[in-house]
């Protein structure tokens, strides 16, 4: 270790991907949003997305590759301890939305406000809950296979099942939103619909990010490489998304 350490302190470390990723993010989200919603200019929006999306995706791929080669050579495994800190921040993000929803709901003169359908969906959210809880179990299985049994084949299979469950969950979410839209329950109907779509939308975006992280694990895993600390952190994140869903479903769907 000592020799190795001395070896790589000779030069300043560099990485291309952080700068490329931040430029990508700037075009992909803020500029595209501003061009589309503020200036309503489809051409500039397309250009922004055209610059931002490839840069972001390339930098994610490059970053992961670099992570496996690990030219920095130290501090492996600390992500397991960093993820809980990040999850606290994420939890507070949802807390902000939930707090707003609770304030708006508890101070409303009548609830549900005008424009809400008589029956909020019941069966689909139950199915979604079952799917997401199952996916928490399957990712735990994948993690166990990798950590305890060092079995890459079963690890990939369980991971793949988790991704499929996540995609099905997202599909049901979208189906649900379309149904509600047809019943006249849209973003701007009332405070309930605003909270409903914001919170479920934010949660769905977290599911999407989770699936993205799993794909980032799956692709190298097919080539036989896996980083246990990264898998553990991803699994932790997924459990968190699962727990948030229990709040979403109980507060937004089933609280009459």
Residue ranges in contact with another protein by CB under 8 A? 2-3, 5-6, 8-19, 21-23, 25-26, 29-30, 33-34, 37-38, 63, 66, 72, 74-75, 78-79, 81-82, 85-86, 88-90, 92-93, 95-97, 99-100, 103-104, 107-108, 113, 187-188, 190-191, 194-195, 197-198
Closest CB to another protein among 134 and 194? 194
Contacts of 137 by beta carbon, 8 Å cutoff, 6+ apart: none
Contacts of 136 by beta carbon, 8 Å cutoff, 6+ apart: 238, 239, 242
Closest CB to another protein among 72 and 150? 72
**Cβ 164 to another protein, closest distance in Å?**
30
Residues 83 and 213: beta-carbon distance below 8 Å: no
**Cβ 178 to another protein, closest distance in Å?**
17
Closest CB to another protein among 78 and 127? 78
Closest CB to another protein among 39 and 130? 39
Residues 55 and 23: beta-carbon distance below 8 Å: yes
**Cβ 246 to another protein, closest distance in Å?**
19
Closest CB to another protein among 27 and 214? 27
Contacts of 48 by beta carbon, 8 Å cutoff, 6+ apart: 27, 28, 31, 32, 35
Closest CB to another protein among 97 and 154? 97
Distance separating the N- and C-terminal Cα atoms of the chain: 61
Distances (CA, A) of 126 to 12, 121, 123, 249: 53, 9, 5, 8
**Cβ 145 to another protein, closest distance in Å?**
27
Closest CA to 169 of 202, 197, 195, 133: 133
The CA distance from 142 to 147, in Å, is 9
**Cβ 133 to another protein, closest distance in Å?**
25
Query: What would the two tokens of residue 221 be?
Result: 């895993």
**Cβ 202 to another protein, closest distance in Å?**
9
The CA distance from 244 to 236, in Å, is 13
């Amino acid at each position: 270790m000592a020799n190795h350490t001395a070896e790589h302190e000779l030069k300043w470390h560099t990485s291309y991907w952080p700068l490329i990723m931040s430029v990508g993010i700037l075009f992909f989200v803020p500029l595209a949003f501003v061009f589309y919603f503020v200036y309503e200019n489809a051409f500039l929006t397309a250009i922004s997305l055209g610059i931002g999306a490839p840069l972001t995706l390339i930098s994610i791929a490059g970053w992961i590759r670099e992570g496996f080669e690990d030219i920095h050579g130290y501090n492996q495994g600390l992500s397991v301890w960093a993820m809980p800190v990040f999850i606290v921040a994420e939890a507070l993000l949802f807390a902000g939305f939930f707090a707003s929803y609770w304030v708006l709901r508890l101070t409303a003169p009548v609830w549900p406000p005008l424009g809400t359908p008589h029956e909020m969906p019941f069966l689909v959210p139950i199915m979604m809950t079952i799917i997401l809880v199952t996916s928490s179990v399957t990712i735990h299985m994948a993690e166990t296979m990798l950590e305890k049994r060092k079995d890459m084949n079963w690890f990939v299979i369980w991971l793949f099942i988790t991704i499929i469950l996540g995609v099905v969950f997202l599909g049901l979410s979208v189906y649900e939103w379309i149904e509600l839209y047809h019943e006249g329950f849209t973003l701007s109907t009332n405070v309930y619909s605003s909270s409903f779509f914001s919170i479920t939308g934010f949660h769905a975006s977290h599911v999407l990010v989770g699936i993205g992280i799993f794909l980032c694990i799956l692709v190298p895993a097919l080539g036989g490489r896996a980083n246990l600390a990264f898998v553990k952190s991803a699994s932790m994140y997924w459990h968190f998304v699962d727990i948030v869903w229990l709040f979403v479903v109980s507060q937004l769907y089933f609280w009459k």
